[in-house]
Chain A
Amino acid sequence: MSFFNTQIKFASDIVAANISIIVILVAAVIYISLAKKWKVIWSLIRTMDHRKIGILYIAWGFIFFLRAGLDAMLMRTQLAFPNFHFWVFQGDKYDQVMTTHGTLMIFFVAMPFLIGLMNIAVPLQIGARDIAFPFFNSLSMWLFVIGGLLINMSFVMGGAPSTGWTSYVPLAVGKDIVGNGTAFYDMGVQVSGIGTIMTSINMITTILKHRAPGMGFMKIPLFTWSALITSILILFAFPVLSAALLILLFDNQFGTQIFSGEHGNPVLWQHLFWAFGHPEVYIVILPAFGVFSQVISTFASKRIFGYSSMVLSMLAIGFLSFMVWIHHMFTVGLGAFANVVFAITSMLIAVPTGIKIFNWLFTIRGGSVRFTTAMLYSLAFIPSFVIGGVTGVMQAVVPADYQYHDSYFVVAHLHYVMVGGTVFGAFSGFYYWWPKMFGYLLNDKIGKWQAWTFIIGFHMTFLPMHLSGLQGMPRRTFTYLPEDGLFEFNFISTMGAYLMAFSVLLFIWNVFYSYQKKERWGVADPWDGRTMDWAVPSPSSHIRWPYLPVVRDLENLWYAKEHGDGTLPFSQKEEKRIVVEKPTIIPLLLSGGFFTISFGLIFAVPLITVAGFMGTLLLMAWRSITYERSIDLYTSAQLEEAIRREEE
């Protein structure tokens, strides 16, 4: 079939994908209609509430997580046996699945999970009524969704990106592209990247300008600190990616030959990509560090050990993360001096990271550890992440890296930090903040089964990969030969991957099970919490704090529990102008505009692109003109009255 000049071949896998898309959509529509949830959906897609936007981030992230996880299962099945032929997943089909897995997991799973948690917890932790710019916040979220949908759609629309999530040039420009793969990758990541940059501005403004009275910099909870530092990293790193993607688009669609061709420099793409890509690694790990700091401190019932060195080491990691990118390029041949300089800066990152590990350990010492599911994930993180960390230092040894580079050793390393760090952190955060999101707890017993199967499956999958790498297995290969001696390692990895998939199914079951049981409904502080997020009702309400809480300590709620009855003192200041944004559909429509622009660019139909631009500009103008009508203004007294009415 021809679709906007792109050939779509209906092979068995494409047909299966199309059928499952239709089945899932129809099932969703039937479920929503039967459960009479269309009103909920309508209010959810127009929401300006930071909690609901956070939930949407996580929900969409989870949908993409399932897709990228399915890709992982297809890959692991194809790799289970030597010279295996599983369905169609060899050659460029495998490459499409592999690229989609990587791109989705980094940009559309790790990022929204963490940004979602930031949205939910940061305003509560610092005593803010909402994120600084709620409209922006909603738009950022929808741009991320659109970007993710573009990447997801590509598989059934002529071909997914197939050149790895790093999309190296000249491979990504030229005859090796399947369908419009690179353009899908380019626009999908670009559009969501715009949203991410807006989020970072939003977070920085919120944390710098909207802290409750009394919260000096050294009284900011560690999760919020991590959100602040991550946002600063995003602000500096993502524009580099945006520029690189723009050039890649030009090279692809207009033949500009900046990275590719006779006049282009393919190494330039690598520099730009990794100048973004390495900070990106810390962008997705620092918020996870923040989650661990909150969770470990809460469930060890103890103040975090070495708070100031925790903050300083995060700042150091953030700073260093911008000057290590060449360690992804040791084999490019940039010369001994460049390699050595960047090897040493890379090694240095181990120091602040080590400080954090020991601080977590010594937070446990002298405390009283409660093994909830959230704590289980945080504890499992410590040894897992240390394995990922030490293999990282090993790769900073340049000559040794000539062996590890682009082998399964690297695959093992990156999954140890991304899964053992980021995904463990995300799950820990879900179990921890679930009551704040939905008002009830996730079941702890199912949770523990889920956590253990996930942790064991994780080590089973990725530990053997170190060995297959040392046995000479290059990454991004879809098969190996019987005489390579790789069968055992790969088979164990595949079994581990299935166990992880089972664990994810357990998580889904837990969500449905807990939704029906609604354990400890509405309890504001189910964990004996220490920070202000546990001082507001569960789930947190959109309008709150007519008078802002006064911050006396880093652990403001704990301080109130120790020095009184556990209620926070509130400021007496009467505020004249409290802005609450009304729900609006404009962010969703705007993201539709961006989708149209991207669609036109991907399929090279200028008319559609122009229409998209016009629509986007019109919507922006409309928003500017109607701003005064789209907000509610309150004084403190009026807000107090409104909250009382809502409670009744």
Chain B
Amino acid sequence: MKKIVGIWGSCLLLLSGCSAIQNMDVLNPAGSQAAEQYSLIKLSMYIMLIVMVTVVVLFVRFVHKYRARPGFTPEKHQENRNKKLELTWTILPFVLLLILAVPMVKSVFGEEKQDNTGAMKVKVTASEYWWKFEYPEEGIVTSQELHLPKGKRVVIELHSKDVIHSFWVPQLGGKQDLIPGRTNKMALTPEKVGTYQGKCGEFCGAGHSFMRFLVKVDSQQDYQQWVNQMKKENTSSKLSAQESEGQNVFKNNCLSCHATSGVASANQGKEGPNLAGFGDRERVAGFMPNTEKNVLKWLKDPKKVKPGTEMPKAKGLSKDDYAALSAYLKALEK
């Protein structure tokens, strides 16, 4: 029996070792909030390791030493109470918990008291199953890809249009819920340039698994350049013949919900995600690589690709129409 346990145990360690635990998202922070959360996770892990080791050592020793076997006689005097021991394992846990609770309380109130003057503002609105990102100070809107400058504190205002969602970028910071009828706030301070995975944390229905987004942290300069691009009214001036045909298809079928400009005023009343700069995005539908094949797959039958999505199937489009539409979307660049 022990052998079996040993073999299974080592398989498990081997396999989990392969996928490089030290690179796990939560344990590899790229923002100051995530870093602080990580330090608390480490502290609690160390303290809990003490508890684990104590219990396992006693457990193995007692079970081994007092196992019934031929020639073994149990102790005559059977101890059923021991004030000193019982006091020890009542008081020591309090001490351990105190060591854990003090930095926890400090961290919670510390974050609450942070000064938000001069912080950048972003308004996030979640719907089934996509993310809208508004930059009120810049007057621009985007979706699915959140662009942030490195080293700047960002206050994020969280709204929901339908059910409860949760905003989670493991490498930048923990979650906060988006609840219909309420406004929540959280802050992120990205410290490293890079692209980070964002996910919906709270179960929100059939498409929950695909309610994902990306966070692109750029240098101050690159970020400013992106903002300037987004502020331009029209992103697609020089279109090929196929692309302008696609533009017509888009106008007839998609424009009622989707804006192709990042300017806030152009997005008024649009129910669907903003598509400005779609050609530069890494993903389509929030989770598939942005290739022509995937775009077509998505356009032809959205509900099959992403269960529960609100995006309808366009009616009466020919194969050429789809190709043109896809080409036009690809041409939506900065």
Contacts and interface: CB of A to CB of B under 8 A. Distances in A.
Does chain A bind chain B?
A: yes
B119 interface: no
A472 interface: yes
Contacts of B18: 488
B303 to A, nearest CB: 9
A472 B26 contact: yes
Nearest to A390: B48
A488 B37 contact: no
B201 A331 contact: yes
Interface stretch (B98-106, B240-248, B326-334): B98-106
A383 B59 contact: yes
Contact of B109 (A307, A340, A361, A387): A340
Given A361-B58, A460-B8, A390 B51 contact: yes
B90 to A, nearest CB: 6
B177 A171 contact: no
B108 A92 contact: no
Contact of A164 (B16, B112, B203): B203
A174 B205 CA distance: 11
Interface stretch (A129-137, A350-358, A598-606, A621-629): A350-358
B27 interface: yes
Contact of B52 (A332, A361, A387): A387
Contacts of A367: 66, 74, 78
B125 to A, nearest CB: 16
Interface stretch (B141-149, B180-188, B291-299): B180-188
B8 A456 contact: yes
Interface in B152-190: 162-164, 166, 168, 170, 173-177, 179-182, 184-185
Contact of A477 (B16, B75, B209): B209
Nearest to B158: A333
A361 B59 contact: yes
B24 A366 contact: no
Contact of A266 (B36, B180, B208): B180
Contact of A305 (B12, B79, B203): B79
Interface string A158-170: 0000111000101
A208 interface: no
A160 to B, nearest CB: 13
Contacts of B111: 336, 399
A92 B205 contact: yes
Contacts of B62: 361-362, 364-365
B82 interface: yes
Contacts of A561: none
Q: How large is the interface on A (under 10, 10 to 19, 20 to 34, 35 or more residues)?
A: 35 or more
Q: Is the interface of A mostly helix, strand, loop or mixed?
A: helix
A138 interface: no
Contacts of A95: 205-206, 208
B275 interface: no
B122 to A, nearest CB: 17
Residue of A92, A336, A397, A480 ringed by the most chain B CB atoms within 10 A: A397
A355 B203 contact: no
A530 interface: no
Nearest to B204: A171
A467 B21 contact: yes
Interface in B309-330: none
Given A309-B86, A399-B108, A452-B1, A351 B78 contact: no
B290 interface: no
Given A92-B307, A474-B168, A464 B104 contact: no
Contact of A399 (B23, B104, B177, B207): B104
Given A305-B80, A366-B78, A403-B26, A394 B41 contact: yes
Given A344-B101, A397-B100, A354 B80 contact: no
A459 B12 CA distance: 10
A340 B89 contact: no
Interface stretch (A146-154, A246-254, A295-303): A295-303
Interface stretch (A17-25, A37-45, A65-73, A368-376): A368-376
A301 B68 CA distance: 10
A416 interface: no
B200 interface: yes
Contacts of A478: 209
B250 to A, nearest CB: 27
Contact of B174 (A304, A308, A331): A331
Interface in A441-479: 448, 452, 456, 459-460, 463-464, 467, 469-472, 474-479
A170 B93 contact: no
Contacts of B72: 368
A523 interface: no
A263 B24 CA distance: 42
A105 interface: no
A170 B180 contact: yes
Contacts of B19: 467, 471, 485, 488-489
Nearest to B209: A477
Interface in A377-430: 379, 382-383, 386-387, 390-391, 393-394, 397-403, 405-407
Contacts of A386: 51-52, 55-56
Contacts of A464: 12, 16
Given A354-B89, A474-B201, A476-B203, A403 B37 contact: yes
B307 A366 contact: no
Interface in A91-119: 91-92, 95
Nearest to A178: B206
Contacts of A170: 162-164, 180
Given A368-B72, A400-B41, A463-B12, A471 B25 contact: yes
Given A386-B51, A406-B203, A456-B5, A354 B93 contact: yes
Contacts of B26: 403, 469-472
Nearest to A407: B201
Nearest to B91: A351
A342 to B, nearest CB: 11
A492 interface: yes
A383 B40 CA distance: 24
Contacts of A406: 166, 175, 201-203
Contact of B101 (A309, A347, A407, A484): A347
Contacts of A304: 80
Nearest to A448: B1
A164 B208 CA distance: 12
Given A266-B164, A364-B63, A472-B170, A402 B79 contact: no
Contacts of B37: 399-400, 402-403
Interface in A282-320: 300-309
Contacts of B65: 365
A544 B8 CA distance: 49
Nearest to B61: A365
30 contacts: A90-B307, A92-B308, A301-B68, A301-B74, A302-B78, A309-B86, A333-B177, A336-B112, A340-B108, A343-B104, A351-B93, A354-B93, A361-B58, A362-B62, A364-B62, A379-B63, A393-B44, A394-B45, A398-B108, A399-B33, A399-B37, A401-B174, A403-B41, A463-B12, A467-B24, A472-B24, A474-B200, A474-B201, A474-B208, A485-B24
Given A305-B81, A472-B25, 7 more contacts: A266-B179, A301-B74, A361-B55, A400-B104, A405-B174, A478-B209, A480-B209
Across the A-B interface, the 9 shortest Cβ-Cβ residue pairs: A402-B174, A91-B307, A390-B48, A477-B209, A368-B74, A333-B184, A476-B203, A91-B206, A92-B206
